[in-house]
Amino acid sequence: MALERTFSIVKPDAVAKNFIGSIYQRFESAGLKIVASKMVHLSREQAEGFYAEHSERPFFAALVEFMTSGPIMVQVLEGENAVLANREIMGATNPADAARGTLRADYANSIDENAVHGSDALASAEREIAYFFTAEEICPRTR
């Protein structure tokens, strides 16, 4: 087992539906600690930069439009195998395929508006954390 940090977003649809607390509860119940958190409303440039790896995909314009449609919560989660643990808590990208009890099964309506983001690997977690947080904004948890 390895102590990891992963990057997470509560997307605009879930913020609009007042699911921030419910989603944070799932992270905490699973043993993931929130070590940084803030609300932001992404600019187009910020959203395009964050999702640059998808810039050639047909859904890119809609994804950027959606991610700039309202405020989001961005957070850093820390815990044993946090990257994979958070992907399991989130469930499949398409809520229709998401396992019962996962965030996307419970809080997402569609593949486009799917409630949460979570880093897909340790390297992307490091890059995504640095995209949103300075070192000073991350608070190591000693207990």
93 a known binding residue? Answer: yes
User: Should residue 93 be labelled a site residue for ligand RTP when binding is judged by CB under 6 A?
Assistant: yes
What minimum distance in Å lies between the beta carbon of 120 and Mg ion?
5
Contact 70, 43 (CB under 8 A): no
Q: Which is nearer to ligand RTP, 5 or 117 (by Cβ)?
A: 117
Query: Could you tell me which residues are beta bridge partners of residue 10?
Result: 73, 116
Query: Could you tell me which residues are beta bridge partners of residue 8?
Result: 75, 118
# binding residues, ligand RTP (CB under 6 A) = 10
> What is the enclosing helix (H) or strand (E) of 39?
strand 33-40
Rg (CA), the chain: 14
User: Should residue 55 be labelled a site residue for ligand RTP when binding is judged by CB under 6 A?
Assistant: no
- With CA atoms as reference, report the closest residue to 27 among 74, 97, 85: 85
Rounded distance, CA 65 to CA 48, Å? 10
114 a known binding residue? Answer: yes
Residue 95, amino acid? P
Rounded distance, CA 120 to CA 73, Å? 18
Answer for which of 120, 126, 127, 138 binds ligand RTP (CB under 6 A) is 120
Q: Which two tokens stand for residue 58?
A: 């047909």
Return the active site residues.
117
User: Should residue 59 be labelled a site residue for ligand RTP when binding is judged by CB under 6 A?
Assistant: yes
User: Should residue 118 be labelled a site residue for ligand RTP when binding is judged by CB under 6 A?
Assistant: yes
Q: Fill in the per-residue mask, 16 to 45: x = in contact with ligand RTP (CB under 6 A), - = not in contact.
A: ------------------------------
- Interface contacts to ligand RTP, rule CB under 6 A: 54, 59, 63, 93, 111-112, 114, 117-118, 120
Residues flagged as binding site for ATP: 11, 59, 87, 93, 104, 114
